[in-house]
Amino acid sequence: MNEIISWKKEYEVGVESIDNEHKLFVGLIQKICSAYDNNVKKEHITLLVKELYKYVDFHFFSEENIMIFTDYPDYAVQKKEHDLLKNQLTNIMMTFESEYIDQANLINFLLSWFREHTTQTDKKLGLFIQSRG
Ligand SMILES: [Fe+2]
C-alpha cells in the first residue's frame, strides 16, 4: 500500500511554502503506513496519528495566517473545513484508545482528505495568491 502514497504533481498549489508543508504531510502519512506494514502496536500508531494532528494544526494555522494577511475572501469557509478535519482527527485518536482502526480505513481517509484539500481548496488559495503577485 505504501507505494501509492507519494507526492504527485496534481497536489501542487504553486506556493512554495504551502507545497513544502504538504510534502511533509505526505511523509507523515507514509510513516503511519509503514508502521502498519511493520505490525507496530496500536498505541504507537496512535502516537503517530497525534504527531500528524499536531502537524496539521500547525499547517492550518500557517495557512490561515496567509489567508488573513492576504484578505482571502474564502477564509471563513476554509477555516471551517480545517476545524472539521481537526475534529475528525481527534475522533480517530479517541477511537484508537478503545479499538483498532485498520490500515485501509485510516490511510484511505487521510489520502482522500489530503487529495481534496490540495487539489480543491488550497489550489484556489494558490491561484488567489499568484493573482496578487
Ligand atoms: Fe494545506
Per residue in 51-68, pLDDT (tens digit) is 999 999 999 999 999 999
Nearest 10 degrees: Cα torsion 6, 12, 18, 20: 40
Classify domain 15-131 by CATH number.
1.20.120.50
User: Cα of 123 to ligand 1 centre, how many Å?
Assistant: 9
Give the number of other Cβ atoms within 10 Å of residue 69's Cβ: 8
Residues 6+ apart with CB under 8 A from 130: 14, 15
Q: How far is the CA of 60 from the centre of ligand 1 (A)?
A: 6
Cα(117) to ligand 1 centroid in Å equals: 6
Looking at the chain, the whole-number percentage of residues with pLDDT higher than 90 is: 88
How does pLDDT run across 22-52, given as a tens digit for each residue? Answer: 999 999 999 999 999 999 999 999 999 999 9
Grid cell in block for residue 132:
496578487
Using the mean position of ligand 1's atoms as its centre, give its distance from the Cα of residue 88 in Å: 16
- Residues in the 5 Å CB sphere of ion ligand 1: 122
